[in-house]
Amino acid sequence: MDIANSYLTLLHDKISGLKDIERGEFRYSHILLFAEYQSRLFKWKTVLKNESFYLFNKDKSFHNLFLDLSPLWINELIPEEKVICDLNELGFSRVHLTHRDYYGFFVAMYLNWEIFKEYAELKKHDSLPHPYETVYMMFCRGGDIFNGEKKFEVDSRTYIKHDHRFELPPLTTEFLDFVDAETATHSHGMNYPDQEKVFQLWQKFNK
């Protein structure tokens, strides 16, 4: 496979357009999508025998599932540094290479997963969901992510790590838009809808 060509194609087709989306406006859908990311990550970590969940807020490398998979081709991954450099050249703002900046990191993880998802080391876990899909979806909706003082901030709102059993209903744009519309008046009232609240919203959406 031509990895370099696959990377450039994905960068153009799936990432370049994100630079025109204004980032950082708080929406509950962003919190829910990141919560779903946490659930998916922990499912993968459990299967791969790395349940050091306490590192979720503390160590960027914990979010790199390729380190757990440890494939022979790990050195072929597109580095975070290159992805961030390319994003800056494309005109992205506020994308930096630091231990607290995660936007470029998650873009790199998503792109690498898309490039290598047909490789045997990933295909053998087909029953597990795409780990980085919902972070990408969050970025497509204008979400932003940062890690400050060992806690994540989604749209500058502190993200409270859940007990990893959170489940999001089907990931449709219509439902996520409905969540944002229903919770818009609570933007300063509560941190984010809990599991019970999410399913109440799902039931209301389906009426």
pLDDT (tens, 9 = 90+) of the chain, 207 residues, equals: 799 999 999 999 999 999 999 998 899 899 889 999 999 999 999 999 998 999 999 999 999 999 999 999 999 999 999 999 999 999 998 899 999 999 999 999 999 999 999 999 999 999 999 999 999 999 999 999 999 877 899 998 888 776 666 777 888 999 999 999 988 766 554 556 577 888 888 999 998
Q: Which residue range forms the structural domain that includes residue 132?
A: 3-163
Residue 99 included in any domain: yes
Establish if 201 belongs to a structural domain: no
Assigned domain for 124 exists: yes
Look at residue 91 and give its three-state secondary structure.
coil
- Residue 89 within a domain: yes
Give me the pLDDT at residue 55, please: 92
From CA 56, how far away is CA 166, in angstroms rounded? 15
**CA gap 40, 9 in Å, rounded:** 26
The number of domains in the chain is: 1
Query: Sign of the C-alpha dihedral, residues 143, 144, 149, 150?
Result: positive
Structural domain includes residue 96: yes
| E strands in 76-189 | 145-147, 152-154, 157-158
Asked, for residue 178, whether it belongs to a domain, the answer is no
What does the pLDDT look like over 31-54, one tens digit per residue? Answer: 889 999 999 999 999 999 998 999
Cβ(92)–Cβ(2) below 8 Å: no
For residue 164, give the DSSP letter: S
The identity of residue 76, as a single letter, is E
Q: Is 54 inside a domain boundary? A: yes
Cβ atoms of 173 and 57 closer than 8 Å: no
Per-residue model confidence (pLDDT) at position 1: 73
Beta bridge partners of 158: 153
Phi then psi dihedrals of residue 95, to 5 deg: -120, 110
Edge-first strand listing for the sheet containing 152-154: 145-147, 152-154, 157-158
- Tokens coding 142: 């204008």
For residue 198, is it within any domain?
no
